[in-house]
Each structure stands twice: as structure tokens, then as C-alpha cells.
Amino acid sequence: MTHLVIAPIIIPLFAGALMMLLGERRRVLQTALGLAATAALVVVAAMLLLRADGASAAEVQLYRLGNWPSSFGIVLVLDRLSALMLVLASVLGLAAHVFALARWDRAGAHFHPLFQFQLMGLNGAFLTGDLFNLFVFFEVMLAASYGLALHGSGTARVRAGLHYIAINLAASLVFLVGVSVIYGVAGTLNMADLAARMHDIAAEDRALLETGCAILGVAFLIKAAMWPVGFWLPGTYGAASAPAAAILSLLSKVGIYAVLRLWLLLFGDEAGASSGFGGTWLMLGGLATIAFGSLAVLATQNMARLAGACVIVSSGTLLAALGAGQVAVTGGALFYMTSSVLAIAALFLLIELIERGREVGADVLAVTREAFGEGAEEEYLDDDEEIGVAIPAIMALLGLGFMACALLLAGLPPLSGFLAKFAILAPLIGTGADGLPATTWAVLAALILSGLACLIAMTRVGMDAFWAAPGPPPRVAMAEILPVAGLLALCLGLTLMAGPVMRYMHDTAAGLHAPAGYVGGVMRP
């Protein structure tokens, strides 16, 4: 069972490499191998989650490659947070992969290996214990995401994909600069070793180290789509194919994961003079991101761009919650992240089905269509190709799914989106016995108003899609309905099992805010 920790990296690595050897002519074998590998990832991630949950709050499970000491070798670290992220990545990967089998895997070359390498990069980023290999897995993840973002061609997709590539290449350069500065000052890139040295950094070097961490944080926040560096996200995700957008929606949470991991590890209460460094900026940046995302939600009349704007709102909510620096609020933020990731992925997949058979931008005014560049949109697949079967009352099923996504993203009761926002706000309000601070009022207003904006926008586009100009009922394959239903069922499960889930999230947050257990577990002989 010791080697199970590395399995989430090894499985997609070997699957993707074997697919490249098989070639594009053996699509049936590629499909079978991809399904088997992705399903295996779900099983492995669930087993690792159970192992992490069975350990104490501060315990971590360490995997040393080559059995080198942690200070010198490559280490993989499993704790509650990394196990949670592995489960999210594997579940979204399986849902998107199954959905793509209806037609999108045939829209371009090398879809299946790119998808496996994408999962490998995600899983490696969640498990690695040092900054250099975090950069390596970031690049693997990004390289695969470039191919997925461009998959299916088309003018709008290529335009948005090239912007996405340019921005992320710049972010990678910023990442390297930050890592170089940190290594030059601290002499290590192992995250636990770096945390252990933070308290003893010389006063004359501390400012330079904090500068390096801030530069590194900029790279993470670009990936997390924080304002003002998140302008690229709605256009890129809106132009991507539905299964690609569903898995890409998790990439913004990789930036959130990195910020959460490193900020609490390096700048916690044991960091000496650097304790709490950057927390205020996280809070303010999160609030600004919520405001920007809410305006984008209200401004767009395109469903896919609306889903991309919802990703920005969710990132802003997480950053604002993390900036509060409270264990209970961080636990609520983790619950919110899980719910929002599943709901947004389901929304991206639903949009593909809802808009099938409708003219692109049919519900958009001509001037708005021109402003968004949709007039040059091309059909990526043959519209005359019959996909799936005509299911009776299919629009009713799609409408129910869309309504569930709206409730989840707006944070309305009784679903998990409401419970998650309540879990974030309750600790903030409960600490204000002598009056609430201005930051708490700001977070309260931001979460309520962003939910209202999401509700208004989704109601508007839903009415246009289902009532004003519904068009002919789409032909839908079971491979497309089942992933959407599965993701929404998981959101329902979060609602029904909110108690145990919140207990897990609170234990995860407690371990993150007390990083001594993580440091001791990684640095043990």
C-alpha cells in the first residue's frame, strides 16, 4: 500500500505514453485504455482519501523516490488536502472523459493522451512536496491544457487558446523567478524544509525572501484568475470544447491549492516576523475578484462565457475566505470549493447539450455578438451528424439540471452551495461580539451580491434557452447525460452528507493551520 501514493501519477503517465505508441488509428484501444485508466484513478483517489481520513489531523504519508532524504530527494506527500484534490481531479476527469466519447474525442488529434497527461500534471501538483517539482508538474499540466484548449480548432478557439498560451508562458517565467529568489535566500526548495527555516531567516534576507514568495504568488494567482490577472479566463474556457472546459475549470483551483498550501505553511504563526505575510492582499484581491466576476456574469449573454465568469467568482470567494486566516472559515472554503468545482463542471457539460442545434449566439443582440467576436465563430463539428437519440422530455431534464446548477452557484437553499457559503460566513459573523469589522461586512456583501448576480444572469440565459428561443430538442447520447447527472448527484450527496463532509474539511483546515505536523512528517529521518 506504500506505493499507492505514486499511483495517481504513474497511471496516467503510462496510459498516455501507451496511447502515443498506439497511434490515432487505434481509437478503440485508446478509448478503452483511457476509460480504464481514468476509472482506476477514481478508485485510487478514493482509497487515498480514506487513508488520509483515517490518519490524525497532523499526520502525513510520505513517499520518497529513490529513498533519498527529504532535504535532497523528490518527495510526494499525501495529507487530507492533497487527497481531496485528487478525488476532485479524478471525478472530473472521469465525467469529462465519458462525455467526450460521444463526439469530442474525434474532433481532433491526440485527445486521449493529452487528457491523461493533463490528469498526470494535476495529480503531481497536488502530491509534490517541493517547489521545483511543483513547477515541473505545472508545466506538464499546462502543456496538456494548451492542446485541450485548442482541441477542435475553429477561429474563436484558436484565438482564445493563443492568448491562454501566451499568458501562461509569462506566468511560468514569473514562477521560475520566484523559485530562484527563494532558493538563493533559503537554500532549499522542499516546502517543509523551507517552512522549518522561515523563523531563522536573517533579518537582512527576510525582505528578499518575502519578495520571492510574492513573485511566486503572482504566478499562482494568475492561474487562480485573481483580478486583475484573470481577464483571460472567460474567453478561453468559453471557447474550449465542453469536456475540455470541464477539466480546465479545475486548473484555476490548482492556483488556489498552491496559495493555500504555501501561505499557511510558510507564513503561519510559527514564521516569526513573516507571520501573516500577504493575508490582507489575499482578502482584498479576493473581494476585487468577486466584484469583477459578478460584473462579468451580468455582462455576458453567452452561456459558456457565463460559466467561465462563475469560475472567477468562485476563485474570488476562496481567496477572500482564505485571507481571513481562520480555521473554521478555511474549512467552509474547502467545502465551497468542492461544491463549486462539481457544479461548474456540470454546467459546462450542460451548456453543450442545451445549445446543440441552436444557432450560435441566437439570443445575443447583433452588436453584442460583434463585441464578443462570435460572428466569426465556426462550427467545430458537422451539425448534420446525428448524435445520440431523441429522449422524451429531454429539454425538461436539461432544464432541471440547469436549475440545479443555478441554485448551487448562486448559493441558494437547500443545496450544498448555500451550506458552503453559510459555513464561510458563520464563523466570521460569530467572532464579531463587539461589532463586525469592515472586512467581514465586505465579505458578507460580496457573497450575497455575487449570488444575486449569478441568479439573475442564469435566470436570463435560461429563459432565453428554454422559453424564448428553445429550438428543436437536441439529440443526446447517454454518455453525455450520465456525467452531468453524476456530478449533480455528487452535489446532492454533499448536501445530504454535509455533517461528515464538513468534519473532514474542518480537520483538513486544522492541519493546514498547524503545519508543524506536516513539517515533522516530511522531515522525519
Distance CA 126, CA 5 (A): 11
Q: Does residue 357 carry a pLDDT above 70?
A: no
Say what the pTM is. Answer: 0.88
> Which residues are 64's β-sheet partners?
75
pLDDT, tens only, 26-71: 888 888 898 999 999 999 999 999 988 877 656 788 888 878 887 7
Average pLDDT, the chain: 84
- Tell whether the torsion through CA atoms of 78, 245, 311 and 495 is positive or negative: negative
Residue 291 has a pLDDT of 93
Q: What is the pLDDT confidence band of residue 461, given thresholds at 50, 70 and 90?
A: confident
C-alpha torsion angle, residues 316, 447, 296, 471 (rounded to 10):
120
Cα–Cα distances (Å) from 479 to 102, 113, 218, in that order, read 6, 20, 39
Task: Decide: residue 19, CB within 10 A, 0-12 exposed, 13-18 middle, 19+ buried.
Answer: buried
Residue 61: enclosing H or E segment and its boundaries? strand 61-64
Q: pLDDT tens across 438-459, in order?
A: 888 888 899 999 999 999 999 8
Tens-digit pLDDT profile for residues 263-273: 888 887 776 67
Q: How far, in Å, CA of 506 to CA of 477, rounded? A: 39
- What integer pLDDT is reported at residue 519 of this predicted model? 86
- How far is 202 from 162, CA to CA, in rounded Å? 43
pLDDT tens-digit map of 277-292: 888 888 899 999 999 9
